[in-house]
Amino acid sequence: DQQVKQNSPSLSVQEGRISILNCDYTNSMFDYFLWYKKYPAEGPTFLISISSIKDKNEDGRFTVFLNKSAKHLSLHIVPSQPGDSAVYFCAASGVSSGSARQLTFGSGTQLTVLP
């Protein structure tokens, strides 16, 4: 059973408009959430994160919103640019054995920004 779910495998958005990527989780012990971006033939790169004590974190064009009661987070990209076209992974973090924080990932959403 997936603890982190990204139900939309793909999303297409026009350049300049807002992209909204969604993520749901089931484990209430997660206390840190991250978004990663992945281009083909590269490893995922960290984009933005949010602690469970916050409901919003903004970094330039990227904003992550967290709704703990709904166990839902979303990534907003505005304005969207063609270079944002990539696979976006949602990840959740909680302390595990040996104090090594593990990340549990969703299956990713392919974002395509159309010029």
54 binds another protein (CB under 8 A): no
Distance CA 68, CA 4 (A): 14
Considering only 1, 69, 70, 98, the residue that binds another protein (CB under 8 A) is: 98
Instruction: Please tell me the distance from the alpha carbon of residue 85 to that of residue 82, in angstroms, as a whole number.
Output: 6
Q: Is 101 in the site for another protein (CB under 8 A)?
A: yes
The residues pairing with 73 across neighbouring beta strands, listed in sequence order, are 23, 66
Does position 53 interact with another protein (CB under 8 A)? The reply is no
Q: Which amino acid is at 44?
A: P
Contact string 8-47 vs another protein (x = CB under 8 A): -x----------------------x-x-x----xxxxxx-
Structure tokens that stand for 113 in this block: 């920004």
Q: How far is the CB of 54 from another protein (least distance, A)?
A: 13
- Cβ at position 17, least distance to another protein in Å: 26
103 binds another protein (CB under 8 A): yes
How many whole angstroms separate alpha carbon 94 and alpha carbon 86? Answer: 26
The whole-angstrom separation of Cα 68 and Cα 58 is 17
